[in-house]
Amino acid sequence: MTADRENPVIRTPHGAVRGRWDRQVAVFRGIPYAAPPFGPRRFRPPAPPDPWDGVREAAAFGPTAPKPPYSEAFAQYLSDPAFPGDDCLNLNVWTPDPAPGARLPVLVWLHGGALTRGSSAVPVYDGHTFARDGVVFVSVNYRLGVEGYGLFPDAPANPGLRDQLAALRWVHEAVEAFGGDPGRVTLGGQSAGAISTGALVAAPQARGLVRRAVLQSGPPETTDRDKVRRMVRRMANRLKVPATAEAFAAVDREQLLRAQADVSRLSSPVLGGPAFGIVVDGDLVPRDPLEALTDGAAPGVELLTGWTRDEYRLWLVPGGLVERVDRLGAVALAGAMARCRCGSEVPRGYRALHPDAGTSTLVGQLVTDHLLRVPLHRLADGRGDPSYVYEFAWPSRRPGMGACHALELGFVFDSGNEPDARKLAGEGAPQELADAMHGDWVRFVTDGSPGWERWNSRHPVRIYGDGAPRTAYGPRDRELALWATPAAGEPAPATAPELRSVIRRLRRSGALRRH
């Protein structure tokens, strides 16, 4: 590094970059870790970037991956800046001490957004607070949607996940120059970023690159290959081209995004449907990541994982879906049974435990437990290495949002003063809760323990809500025990035509419209 305190210069494996000092933290933005994934590289695994001579300016965020914007209904809660350009496989580094030998812990962050939206430039993900507290923070852009997770007969699967692996390898090679310790890397993410984290921690090719992992509101999972193929076929029909990577690579990227947005409108976390996702590919993802991790695929990796109390409210509140689902009543519950592949005894059990809950609350909790809490409990139960589990329960000040999906991010990052964090949290978020939650994440990244009891047979869960954080024992055990009945996990007792009828009624009602 140069001695220039105004413009620190670091040499990376591909060339030197010049960052900026900001509030006692050195910040480097838009560093390429792979070549632009367009032209002959489109739909292909990432390739190393071309080396450069001289010093590359790293003062501004780099281009973001192609993605459709959020609809107006979601944009009032979530920000998603977009920057044009081909060189979208880039990352950012915040460090308090950009010098070899500092050996600081490292947090590599994978953004959420259903693998179709999001970027490292989302203001809530500002890495300054982690660097301020002694952590080298790295945030990553990767390919999204059909560019990153389309499944084609003539191209390798999971190029977006391969991008993330390439970024991890870059960190392993380069982070020491930024003051980081390549042997103390925590990989973390929220939602799709957490799902990606789980897949990479389980991947044999990532062995030795990750010491700890943070999975926020996303379990290790893969998507059924036929679901992804159906999404690609729908796009191909709309574009009037073959469902091949060669044909899609010849389509203008804006036209491709429009087709992707059109065919995605009826996808929903409530009842599923065609979607983009990580798939078992026999290579980077040789088997289901949850099965691999509970079979010991990542020995020695410590885990911090959890959920928000009301995850589903971000899925249902925008656009008035709560009211629509409540009106549908039994039809919506039947749709949830189909989505969760459970028998009627599961929603009956939820009703008995929560007799005053509305239909949307029951449907939302059923789907949340099926998608998140059941597999995350299984993950924590099945591993011999230390696991720590939390629940975020502080309710947003925005009407109807509760402790919804993604609300905890402003507290984990201690970025609640950002206008973008207030879009979801509202005004008056408690700083003391951010201090506590952010401090616990820093402790986990630094030494592997966030400060509460590790997971055991008593099921300790750290609750972040009103007042001081506390530990509850088995707070979701009664609900999750319902999924252990013999019928749970089996298809709901209805014929395929009946289930298709339920889904058609939900779609006609607007309850499955994607916003």
Q: Which of 191, 196, 217, 387 is catalytic?
A: 191
Buried residues in 299-335 as b, exposed as e (16+ CB within 10 A): eebbbbbbbbbbbbbbbbbbbebbebbbebeebbbbb
Return the C-alpha torsion angle 251, 256, 259, 263, nearest 10: 120
For the record, the structure tokens of 438 come out as: 């952010």
- Give dist(CA 38, CA 143) in Å, integer: 11
Q: Are 275 and 222 in contact (CB under 8 A)?
A: no
- Give dist(CA 185, CA 498) in Å, integer: 49
For the record, the structure tokens of 395 come out as: 């309710």
Q: Are 204 and 294 in contact (CB under 8 A)?
A: no
399: number of CA atoms within 13 Å, CB side?
A: 3
Q: Which of 128, 405, 438, 459 is catalytic?
A: 405
DSSP string for 347-414: HHHHHHH-TT--HHHHHHHHHHIIIIIHHHHHHHHH-SS-EEEEEE-PPPSSTT--S-TTTTHHHHTT
**Is 405 among the residues known to form the active site?**
yes
Element (H, E) at 275: none
Q: Which residues contact 288 (CB under 8 A, 6 or more apart)?
A: 220, 221, 222, 280
Q: Which residues contact 408 (CB under 8 A, 6 or more apart)?
A: 190, 216, 217, 308, 392, 437, 464
Q: Which of 176, 311, 391, 408 is catalytic?
A: 311
Q: Could you list the active site residues?
A: 191, 311, 405
